Chains A and B, each alone.
Chain A
């Protein structure tokens, strides 16, 4: 039963991720008075990558071939820790947020290695920037999790959601709202969106994540791109289930599942639109201003925790 549930959620997330990416692209285009690509264009792109023959650099080693599979698997594995159909995640052995972010770190680590493996300056540039930015993201992210743990007394995602969903309007406390803003900044940075990184460009002055994928082609590129959309969806899902705990029921029946799924989709699409708005409203900032942005996220989380300690979050 559990295995079925896992397979179902894994496939669902895999199929949803390109759609959400399409929603963001489409919304952004509409906001910019363009018609934009078709909502399903991302699916077509991935299908195209998968069908194409690949060109692989002679300079690379087995790390380069091994990385796309590992990145894809670790991000999909992290996806099984999220509560989507039910407040309890399908992966029974751990839905701890720390384990979750270390899985993402693993994906990032191998992606950076693969980028260096090609010996191209673009790969090195992307990897170098990605690691530098991640070193400011990580503290902000972990302190935000600490803020959530102060509220829920656990870092386990399933338990956190179960405790927040009882009183969804409890989100309207100043400290949780501060945490939400803090997490949103991290979400933007982690999923490589403007103002931190521009996902639509291969211009070497601005690129971070794209630089690392530059030497990939064919199904390897397909896997990497799919994995990055998946990672974006996972971050949205955390916001959807932790910070917007409406429309979640612990009813284990089919009806309950459909109810959860419906609201989950609404929330995720809403966050996607929000990200598109953010992308349109802001400009990309300089690389060395990113730490300041993330530092503000860290400070917000600290403020939230201070509030929780002193006035108990009321």
Chain B
């Protein structure tokens, strides 16, 4: 039953991929069929993912291709792949629903949608197969297809130069990452003597520490690139905003999670025991990503750019949790480790939902106003009430306001870090833990600032441009998709109990000898797992606040008598209120920029053309910028080095065929002599 459902789902996607281009010549709306089929396929995959999460032991599914005598290819279904399959499928269902509406806008713009629909289905298929693959070869092929199809999707609006540039950086970085991943897998496979996950899972016993460390580091670099961990993130804030919005929702919400899947597969199945500094490294990388990601997010003008940097930040927070879990496990605090594990898995799931929601909202805003610049928007809440409401829900989750889902994840991760620094008796780890705690708190406040900036400058006050003033609400399918995502945010927020137990049982499979403390009955639905005695029942907290708010609203007129409300314009010292008087997003975050100027290294140029010096200026030019430390400090020198090296190598390329034949001969002789 499971296999049939899974094959149906994957088959739908293959059909969807082929349908659009094949039918495309016959009738123009063929992409609708394609997207519809991808929706059905993703629902089937979601169903099978839920079944896979119930499996006690790994289930190995031989692909039909294997019987054709090709390489023995199989799918490896266990709870870990089931969980990630579920996360991807939820994102895919939401985005497919949304795509019906948003693609209409593209089709009005005269875009070729069968090309889009083909790549979209291939992209989804590849992501599913990445987490299902049970073999190094299949994994790497699917990983590559996923990267390439998303690269082509990023290039969808290739008429614009910045999109092509973003695409180029993306494809270079992602291939760099793939190199590291491949080497890491090949080293592992060589030691294991086989390419299947079953072989690789037995390897850890006869692997020496040095090699294990190298494999781990290679995997962290490789998967870290895809996950957008700083300093490997540079492609992410460029590629995600450049892609069409439904693709950026998938890339930011879901695709980056496949990198975590890869990393977790290493840490759970292949190399389950490692020294504590593995966790420490992830903790440091996570803290760095969270901190810089949130800082750059705050200063973004571009709506999608802000969301992309916030993805970097959230991946960092997830890595903080993962690092804490690994360290706790190494020091044999098995129960605390499982709770930290639940924390980061929960946050991973949350991020997939609310980031998809926010990108979908951003897509609606952009298609209604045709601008991504937040300083040109404003007043959209009155013009797009539904989008505004759902987007607020997404922002509140992002900012981790109780009782929404973002808070459950952050609370659990914060608690994991508290446990880490209190329980373990080592000064280094305590210091690391405390550093991570203060970083997480700072990140929380910065994200709140970014959230206020984003929502305030896009949805509130007066519109700052003609486009924003003329914005209209978007289509129904987009509302349904966003509403559904907002609903999931609320449910994951107020009823975390069952889900966190499910995640706990996932972890118990890989980290035996510990259990999530069971709670009974109704309570377990509402509470998060108990961590050293602290509890938090989000449902009741939410109800409490709603009840107090309603009571206040009803009782105030009752106690103090009825009062009336008169509408009048905002007081602006006697002038008619105007959008130019409002704080723009850029102005809003100026204090943050000044406070953290040592990190942003802001530069500012002001030049004036005077009518009468020095008091009456005719024109004032203002330009401000921040110095991207990592690009300038790390990537520029590397690029220079690389170019210098290329210049050196160029001497070999003489252009004469005889020379090349000689090279081939020399290489052959060397290979014959060394490799047997």
- The answer to whether A binds B is yes
A interface residue numbers (CB < 8 A to B):
10, 47, 50-63, 69-70, 72-74, 76-77, 80, 91, 93-94, 96, 98-99, 102-103, 105-106, 108-109, 112-113, 116-121, 123-125, 127-129, 131-139, 141-143, 146, 149-150, 153-156, 159, 214-215, 218-219, 223, 287-288, 291, 298, 302, 305, 309-310
| Least Cβ–Cβ distance between A48 and chain B, in angstroms | 10
Return the 3 tightest CB-CB contacts between A and B, nearest first.
Answer: A124-B583, A132-B591, A116-B456
Decide: A156 near B534, CB < 8 A? Known: A72-B548, A106-B402, A146-B421.
Answer: yes
Q: Per-residue 0/1 for B141-180: is the Cβ within 8 Å of any A Cβ (1 yes, 0 no)?
A: 0000000000000000000000000000000000000000
- Tell which of B379, B442, B594 touches A288, judged by Cβ atoms closer than 8 Å: B594
Decide: A135 near B442, CB < 8 A? Known: A59-B461, A93-B540.
Answer: yes
Main secondary structure of the interface of A (DSSP, over half): helix
Contact B400 A102 (CB under 8 A): yes
Closest B residue, CB atoms, query A309: B430
A136 to B589, CA, bound (A): 14
Decide: A70 near B537, CB < 8 A? Known: A102-B402, A124-B588, A135-B592.
Answer: no
Main secondary structure of the interface of B (DSSP, over half): helix
Q: Does B407 contact A (CB under 8 A)?
A: yes
Contact A128 B591 (CB under 8 A): yes
Q: Does B24 contact A (CB under 8 A)?
A: no
Contact A96 B563 (CB under 8 A): no
Decide: A103 near B569, CB < 8 A? Known: A61-B381, A153-B422.
Answer: no
Instruction: Select the stretch in B258-266, B365-373, B444-452 that faces chain A.
Output: B444-452
In the assembled complex, which residues on chain B have CB atoms less than 8 Å from the CB atom of A129?
Answer: 591
Contact A135 B548 (CB under 8 A): no
Contact A113 B548 (CB under 8 A): no
- Tell which of B535, B568, B583 touches A94, judged by Cβ atoms closer than 8 Å: B535
B interface residue numbers (CB < 8 A to A):
379, 381-382, 388, 392, 396, 399-402, 407, 411, 414-415, 418, 421-422, 427, 430, 434, 437-442, 444-446, 448-449, 451-453, 455-457, 459-462, 532-537, 540-541, 544-546, 548-549, 552-553, 556, 559-561, 563-572, 577, 579, 581-583, 587-592, 594-595
A142 to B549, CA, bound (A): 27
A144 to B591, CA, bound (A): 24
- Tell which of A77, A93, A116, A287 touches B535, judged by Cβ atoms closer than 8 Å: A93
Contact B532 A117 (CB under 8 A): no
In the assembled complex, which residues on chain A have CB atoms less than 8 Å from the CB atom of B402?
Answer: 99, 102-103, 106
Highest count of chain B CB atoms <10 Å: which of A96, A106, A141: A106
| Least Cβ–Cβ distance between A131 and chain B, in angstroms | 4
Contact B552 A72 (CB under 8 A): yes
| Least Cβ–Cβ distance between A91 and chain B, in angstroms | 7
Contact B545 A142 (CB under 8 A): no
Contact B534 A154 (CB under 8 A): yes
In the assembled complex, which residues on chain A have CB atoms less than 8 Å from the CB atom of B379?
Answer: 59
Contact B401 A131 (CB under 8 A): no
Contact A139 B442 (CB under 8 A): yes
Contact A132 B549 (CB under 8 A): no
A93 to B563, CA, bound (A): 36
Contact A55 B451 (CB under 8 A): no
Closest B residue, CB atoms, query A50: B560
